[in-house]
Structure 1
Amino acid sequence: MKGFGVLDFTALRYFLETADSQSIRQASDRLHVAPSAVSRKIAKLEHDLKSKLFERRTTGMRLTAAGIILAEQLRSTVRNLDRVRWQIAELEGLKRGEVSIHCIEGVVENWLPRHIARFKMIYPEINFRIAVMSTDRIIEALMAGDSDIGIVFFTSERPEIRVTSSQAEALNLIANPGHPLAHRRQVSLAEITQHTLVMPNASFGVRRIVDRHFSVAKLVARDILETNSIQLTRSLVRHGVGCTLLPHLSVERDLAAGLLTSVKLKDANMLATGIQVCTHRQHNLSAAAEAFLNTITPKPTAGSLGASD
């Protein structure tokens, strides 16, 4: 984009605010300027770039193809500037900073809060931004630079993603204590397929592992109730709607409270899963993110991820 270096910084800021809010009036409210000032800056930017950036519609401002390209570039620049700002602040030591984490639901009840609580005792001024989502979306966030650290169920290898630590864990049958299979010592997948199976959808790594093994074993579940949430999956199983296949990590609180029970699978070795802590190979972590990553990465002698109780 020729001439980008001499573009009006204020115009770029007004453009990005309008792109985010899809409204000149909302953008002007957030920027504390008159709507006419925002309109003039956007018009000047379009003139400088010799390209239309917005389609003006009655429903709001919609980005054109050129506008989408500019908005994506500016958002990336803003993220990089934020990282620089924190890195400069961290020259004084780990007094300030921010760590962005995208994680699966399985670690939000105990594992992740336990590590954050301990870290905050040492570095109370460091902030956290945490988003809970599926493994696929976590990888997307790492690739886009929206996350410092991703915590996922085992996923396929990608050259851009670095796995800093992992913890293997077998899947188990998880059921309400009143379920017909709940008091068995072991159970086969073939037996499980005869009962209602409550599972997260295929965007979750654990579901893909189960589907892959069912396909290899030529098994078909009689009835599958699908969700987009591990929490909802657990809740449905607690209420006796069906059973599920999850690692203990995802249900440890319910198991401890006696609300759910766990049964080993005869096919346990075929259904091994677990969690991985990941970063992007080409994205430099801030000192705060690097420090937190070190706290959740076990030493070589540790038996499992987060085994520092």
Structure 2
Amino acid sequence: MSSPFLSTMARHFLAVAEARSITDASQALHVAPSAVSRQVALMEAAMGCALFLRQARGMAPNEAGERLLAWLTAVQRESEEVQRQVLGLGPAAAQRLHLACTEGFTTAFMPQLMGRFRDQWPGARLFLRVGDAQQVDQWLQRGEVEVGLRFATRPVEGLRVVASAPSPIVAVCAAGHPLAGRSTLSVADLVAQPLALPEGSSTVRQVLDGACALAGTRYEVACTGNLPSLISLVEQGGLVMLGSRMSVMHALERGSLVALTVAAPAFEQRRVQLLVGDGRAPGGVAQAFLDLAAVALAGYGDGAGGVAPGRLRPAGTPGPRRRGRA
């Protein structure tokens, strides 16, 4: 939720501080990079000092910028809570739901889940944000979204895990790849292959880095990109990617890709987490979505891989189910 109480200068400053990049902030704000640069310069002129460290690979708030960031974040959180309370006085508020997930859920799991939810709540309006794990955490912590879904290897401060399921990182290759007939790879087998990996920081990169450090080996990245492009590249043969079965569900079902277990404990420890902000009590449409998502994750954790059918409220959850108005 975007606060109407913050100036353009403040919103652009927050976007750059979060993205650590003028270009990424401009994409998030849907404005030109020059416009973002101008607003940052105006903010620095108004404050009378520099607010960012200009680095070769982006920008990071300096000490003054961190203090301003902390204050503006608190102001934004409080103003959004007021806005949410005001919106809550209207009849349409109970039908609005802001969601967030990382890219790995967008190929199949989240669209299926949202579609099934719309069947149950046809009057609901769903707003999905997609970002990296850190962005999903920040949106939840700030109250910009009510429900988040991400891969994780450990709990995150300020967030509450509503449900989770195992989601091991697997090696994925084309059905015709020389490794396709194997069920398990060692870390050494894996790093000997040309790898296609997601851009930037991700649980895949974190786990691979840790496993290689323990094994005393290194890897080289042959290709990076977003998930759809990586899946397409790997289907052509030659490359091996890392990810979850959930993320490549459709390709596994049609037989164009196969998934191989990586024989290293760290690859087995990752989980899917369904998250809400700590201290927040979702109600109405948000609670109904959490119920459905928890059942879907239980089905996935049992190996179903998709949205589980059947009863949508987990056993022991009190209260009747409400349906949205068409």
Bigger CA drift: 197-206 or 122-131?
197-206
After superposition, where does 1:67-216 map in structure 2 within 5 Å?
Answer: 72=73, 75-89=76-90, 96-216=94-214
Distance 1:96 1:158, change over 3 A: closer
Q: Is the 8 A contact 2:177 2:238 kept in 1?
A: no
Partner AA of 1:293 in structure 2: L
Distance across 2 between alignment mates of 1:140 and 1:123: 27
Deviation for aligned residue 1:241? 5.0
**Structure (1 or 2) with the larger CA radius of gyration:** 1
Partner AA of 2:148 in structure 1: G
1:290 aligns with 2:287: yes
Q: Is the 8 A contact 2:167 2:301 kept in 1?
A: no
Distance 1:117 1:173, change over 3 A: same
Q: Which residue of structure 1 aligns with residue 226 of structure 2?
A: 229
SS at match of 2:128: strand
Distance across 2 between alignment mates of 1:241 and 1:208: 24
Deviation for aligned residue 1:208? 0.8
Deviation for aligned residue 1:145? 2.0
The two structures, once aligned, show a CA RMSD in angstroms of: 3.3
Flag structure 1 segments of 5+ consecutive residues without an equivalent: 1-11, 23-57
Deviation for aligned residue 1:111? 1.6
Q: Which residue of structure 1 aligns with residue 308 of structure 2?
A: 308
SS at match of 2:167: strand
Q: Which residue of structure 1 aligns with residue 62 of structure 2?
A: none
Deviation for aligned residue 1:127? 1.0
> Per-residue CA shift, 1:249-291, capped at 9, x if unaligned?
11011111222122233x1544112311111112343532222
Deviation for aligned residue 1:95? 8.1
Deviation for aligned residue 1:65? 3.9
Q: Is the 8 A contact 1:173 1:263 kept in 2?
A: yes
Distance 1:190 1:59, change over 3 A: closer
Distance 1:21 1:143, change over 3 A: closer
Partner AA of 2:202 in structure 1: F
SS at match of 1:99: strand
Partner AA of 2:282 in structure 1: L
Q: How many residues align?
A: 258
Distance across 1 between alignment mates of 2:98 and 2:137: 13
Distance 1:195 1:288, change over 3 A: same
Distance across 2 between alignment mates of 1:86 and 1:154: 32
After superposition, where does 1:19-30 map in structure 2 within 5 Å?
Answer: none
TM, length-normalised to structure 2: 0.68
Deviation for aligned residue 1:299? 9.4
Distance 1:287 1:85, change over 3 A: farther
Q: Which residue of structure 2 aligns with residue 62 of structure 1?
A: 42
Partner AA of 1:147 in structure 2: V
Flag structure 2 segments of 5+ consecutive residues without an equivalent: 14-36, 49-64, 310-326
Distance across 1 between alignment mates of 2:283 and 2:106: 23
Deviation for aligned residue 1:248? 0.6
> Per-residue CA shift, 1:181-215, capped at 9, x if unaligned?
12223322211211111112452112211211121
Q: Is the 8 A contact 2:199 2:224 kept in 1?
A: yes
Q: Which residue among 235, 253, 261 is the counterpart of 1:264?
A: 261
Distance across 2 between alignment mates of 1:249 and 1:141: 23
> Per-residue CA shift, 1:231-255, capped at 9, x if unaligned?
3322221233510122211101111
Q: Which residue among 249, 254, 265 is the counterpart of 1:252?
A: 249
Distance across 1 between alignment mates of 2:295 and 2:139: 24
Q: Which residue of structure 1 aligns with residue 51 of structure 2?
A: none
TM, length-normalised to structure 1: 0.71
Identity of aligned residues (%): 20
Q: Is the 8 A contact 1:136 1:204 kept in 2?
A: no
1:16 aligns with 2:7: yes
Q: Is the 8 A contact 1:119 1:292 kept in 2?
A: yes
